[in-house]
Structure 1
Amino acid sequence: MKRVSEIFNNIEEFLVVILLFVMTVVVFWQVICRFVLKASLPWSEEFSRYVLVWASFLGASIGVKRGAHIGVEAFTMILPDKLKKFIQYLAIILSVIFCLVVLKESLGIIQKQIVNDQVSPAMRIPMWWAYSAIPTGMLLMAIRFLQTMVRISRPSAKEAK
């Protein structure tokens, strides 16, 4: 069970590293083809764009997990501990609600793309594959926000005394 937990906790990092590596290789190869071989890869720009979108949404989940998203700590630092905790909970709840609303709306967009059979211009892949980064990222972010709420709910060593 611990192994499954470790895999889930690190899956975003693994995927982002792989995606950025593949994107780098494709862009590097495109530069070589264009300037050395004098031939262009018609699909490389589109591919790189979609990979960057996926890496960005997965990276946002990593940011939530690490607590790296922008916050206004100067304001909360001057508050009493109980009010500070309330503000943290409120921010997390609002963030989860935001993620779930974006998730729901993005699923509607993807459903329309599937129905209309929309494909990308250069690679001719279904556009819902590219747009699936949005609900995937939002779902992972919501999970990470809920994990953060559980983590801050546990008493710290200082509070346990």
Structure 2
Amino acid sequence: MKKLLFGFRLDHWLVAICMAVMVLIAFINVLSRYIFHFSLAATEEITINLFVWVTIIGIGIAFERSEHLGMVTFFNRFPKKMQKASVLIYSLLAAGLFLVLNWFMIQAIYDEITLFQARSASLNIPVWIYYAGLPVFSVFIFRGIYRDAVNKLTDREAEE
């Protein structure tokens, strides 16, 4: 896995920033409840959506590190050619799944922009902005799937 200048990885930084914002928001909300006896309703909306975005980015990181769920017990018993084929198959299936998810999310975003024009309850932000996280951050998922497949295939080549 290549590291960029000073180990900078956009996906890692986005997760760190989102997590820091979530912690800060939750802390401010706790303080406001106990000091001012007033709860900030908007904090829940922001925290939930940031958590979804962190999860999407984290899926890409997990794929890249080969830390996603897998059947390694069976996979390791396969012959080398079958292992290569299974890497290709599950990579294509995983990419296909996220392509389908993106397709439906892009349709939902289009519907929200053109038809429904729904706004969030607390902050009155257009809902499609929250939805946009899936297609935008899916770039990290596709990169992770690709890097996982390349790493596993090159590992199999080296073993032969």
TM-score, normalization by structure 1? 0.87
User: What's the counterpart of residue 111 of structure 1?
Assistant: 110
1:137 CA displacement: 3.4
Q: Which amino acid aligns with 1:25?
A: L
User: What's the counterpart of residue 31 of structure 1?
Assistant: 30
Q: Which amino acid aligns with 1:143?
A: R
User: What's the counterpart of residue 125 of structure 1?
Assistant: 125
The question of whether the paired residues in 2 share the 8 Å contact of 1:102 and 1:138 is answered with: no
The question of whether the paired residues in 2 share the 8 Å contact of 1:92 and 1:149 is answered with: yes
Matched residue of 1:98: which SS? helix
User: What's the counterpart of residue 151 of structure 2?
Assistant: 151
1:30 CA displacement: 0.3
The question of whether the paired residues in 1 share the 8 Å contact of 2:29 and 2:43 is answered with: yes
1:122 CA displacement: 0.3
* Identical positions, percent: 25
User: What's the counterpart of residue 70 of structure 2?
Assistant: 71
Matched residue of 1:43: which SS? helix
Q: How well do the aligned residues superpose, as a CA RMSD in angstroms?
A: 1.8
Q: Which structure 2 residue ranges, 5 or more long, are not aligned?
A: none
| Aligned residue pairs, count | 155
Q: Which runs of 4+ in 1 moved over 6 A?
A: none
The question of whether the paired residues in 1 share the 8 Å contact of 2:62 and 2:144 is answered with: no
Distance 1:74 1:154 in 2: 20
User: Residue by residue, what CA displacement relative to the aligned partner does 1:62-88 show, whole Å, maximum 9, x if unpaired?
Assistant: 111111110011111111111111111
The question of whether the paired residues in 1 share the 8 Å contact of 2:65 and 2:148 is answered with: no
Q: Which structure 1 residue ranges, 5 or more long, are not aligned?
A: none
User: Residue by residue, what CA displacement relative to the aligned partner does 1:91-132 show, whole Å, maximum 9, x if unpaired?
Assistant: 111111111111111100111111122110001111111111
The question of whether the paired residues in 1 share the 8 Å contact of 2:57 and 2:137 is answered with: yes
Q: Which amino acid aligns with 2:150?
A: V
User: What's the counterpart of residue 47 of structure 1?
Assistant: 46
Distance 2:144 2:33 in 1: 42
